[in-house]
Copies of this chain bind each other. A is one copy, B any other.
Amino acid sequence: MKRFPEISAAFSRYFNAKHFPREPSGLYGAASYMLEVGGKRIRPALCLMGNELFTDIHPDAWKIAAGIELFHNFTLIHDDIMDHAPLRRGKPTVHARFNESSALLAGDVMILKAYEYFIGTDPGRVEMLVRLLNTTGYQVCEGQQLDMDFEKSTVVTLGDYLRMIELKTAVLLAASLQMGSIIAGAGTGDQQHLYEFGKNLGLAFQVQDDWLDAFGDPATFGKQTGGDIMQNKKTFLLMQALESANAIQRKDMLQLLEEPGPDKVQKMLLLFKTCGADLAAEAAQQRYLDQALVHLEAVQVASERKEPLRELALGLLKRDY
Q: Are A137 and B112 in contact (CB under 8 A)?
A: yes
Q: Are B24 and A149 in contact (CB under 8 A)?
A: yes
**How many A residues are at the interface, by size bracket?**
35 or more
Chain B CB within 8 A of A105 CB:
yes
B24, B74, B102, B145: which contacts A24 (Cβ < 8 A)? Answer: B145
Chain B CB within 8 A of A119 CB:
yes
Chain B CB within 8 A of A6 CB:
no
When A27-B145, A82-B104, A141-B105 are in contact, do A112 and B126 touch as well, CB less than 8 Å? no
Q: Are A131 and B116 in contact (CB under 8 A)?
A: yes
Chain B CB within 8 A of A111 CB:
yes
Interface residues of A (CB under 8 A from B): 24, 26-27, 74, 78, 81-82, 100-102, 104-105, 107-109, 111-113, 115-116, 119-120, 123, 126-127, 130-131, 134, 137-138, 141-142, 144-146, 148-149
Task: List 18 additional contacts besides A74-B108, A112-B134, A112-B141; criterion CB under 8 Å.
Answer: A24-B142, A26-B145, A82-B104, A82-B105, A104-B104, A108-B111, A108-B137, A108-B141, A109-B141, A111-B112, A113-B134, A115-B134, A116-B131, A116-B134, A119-B126, A119-B127, A119-B131, A123-B127
